[in-house]
Structure 1
Amino acid sequence: MLAITIVGLFLIPTCVACGVRRHRQQSGFKAIIDTEFDDYLQELLHEQPDIRSEWNLERNMIKIQREIGCGEFGRIELAEFRRGKATCLVAVKSLISGRCLPVSYRDFCHEILCLKRLHGHPNIINFLGIVISGDPKYIIVEYAARGDLLSYVQAFRNQGVTFREEKRLVRMATDITFALQHMDMERFIHRDLACRNVLIMEDYIAKIGDFGLSRDIYETGRYWKNPWSQCQGPLPFKWMPPEFMTQGIFETKGDIWSYGVMLWEITTLGETPFSNVPAHMMVSLLLDGKRLPQPENCTDNLYAIMRKCWQSQPEDRPNAQDLTNELKDLFTKEKKFFKTVVPDALGVD
């Protein structure tokens, strides 16, 4: 059932993808697959009937403007959302009809459930609703005007980080610990926490923004197929804890491991972790005690926080509240993430 799939998105061996080769050999492949998508949606609506009654939007409320991201199976578009006389910009996620694998449909429905469940927290992207009448089906979320955190930090590679921007990055990193605290209270596990999945609003508030579709839409070079099952989509091994790779276990403290990698991404201005290590070698590397090195411009105390996130035993890692406190304490004492920063322009706050 879909309600179970939330708890174990990557671990439930539903094997829905195992029949794809057979489907591809049949005529009318597109119709068969689209029917399968409808089956997923109907199961979702059966399990969560309030989605149809409270979150179902009319297609004429959405006016697509342009594409802002596209993958093999899905896309995300900027659109104008009109409700009554009020209008605003939104992001619209959809799947490309006739191309998708069943795991793509599962991810689509999983994202709806996650966004609905976590709706309302200031550091989780705001869910506005879905459009399920007609095609394509849409997931509607608020638009993050400043894009994703990975692109944001990579933009500083040439000019460097200023004092003002460093302060913003500290706040963004803390924003995500607030989101993790909420997710922990909701007994929710993300499994794909990374800079690419953190979105930045107009006022520089950071929000966790993707719960399933990002593996296709946003990034094609950072995910690898799970070696244990062909029934699962590609996974971000270089952000995942060793207990997942060895035992298939991913619990709350797995997100803490990924958060440490996210801090590493920030302080390297968006480098790829273990960029020269093949995905299949990650298990032996981590079990040998190897960890990401301290970035050249990263303070010792911030790197110490990362290392705490990368403890081999999950119970030895900090929780989200611990991380919030440690980041606040770090900035109170050192007032910086980076050893050196670029002075702000004169007259700029």
Structure 2
Amino acid sequence: MNVTDRIYVAGHKGLVGSAIMRALEQQGYSHLITRSSSELDLRDRQQVDDFFETEEIDYVFLAAAKVGGIAANNDYPADFIRDNLLIQTNVIDAAYRAKVQKLMFLGSTCIYPKYAPQPLKEEHLLTGELEPTNMPYAIAKIAGINMCQSYNRQYGTRFISVMPTNLYGPGDNFDLHTSHVLPALIRKFHEAKVQNQPVVEVWGTGNPKREFLHSDDLADACIYLMKNYEDSEIVNIGVGEDIAIKDLAGMIMEIVGYQGEISFNSSIPDGTPRKLVDVSKINALGWTAQTPLAEGLQELYRTFQTEFLVKQ
């Protein structure tokens, strides 16, 4: 992948896509192609076909997706499976027919079985039942992986698939209904501090463990793999360490400066008990994450204060 190649970042305004854009720009790539959802509806096959026919794209980072936390996945299951299947099917097929040099499909660690052995290895895919709370999204992502593998086998394409762990970073979603756990906790503790609330409710028991990867680290890994990885088999991207939600809440509580108490609402489902990815494969390829969680959390809280609150 040369700095003069035409690179399309699908989903460039999202958490992942914007991080990839920043990293590409910092590394000197000068022909970055983007379209907002209002300019190009990736669910519309004709629009996607026309776009690929006219833009002469060399590389694709497929980071566009409909995403959300447990509440959003539970409330809008049809939207999650339909929109994601449409987006990835249209882009992957159009990329093949337009003869792009290489495509990267970004999946998620929710593709792994709910009770898969820990840490999650790439070979655990399709070895057990999925977590029910995000099954429609996971099934769509599994279909995308298999589609890339099938096109490689039948058409000789160079489509690779990566599975990031839980992400956070600049451009994160702080909406309490649709966000993931980390930005939601930052907002909850901040608002409780400002409003002098004595207790902050955290969904679930606090016992599940999660791994958190900074979006800038993910972007660095994606570009590294686009340059150095050619296999059809999936690659995990993570830090190789996890933390219990109750401990994460404690870290955020301290960073925000909230002085009250934490109450865990065990009537809300926990989701998967643990989701730690095995990163030995990507480490062996020569890449490791660089951002410590405490440092990343402090940065995200500053972003919340300087960007999200200003827009409110």
Q: TM-score, normalised by structure 1?
A: 0.25
Which structure is richer in relative contact order (CA contacts within 8 A, separation 6 or more)?
2
User: Which structure would you say has the larger Rg?
Assistant: 1
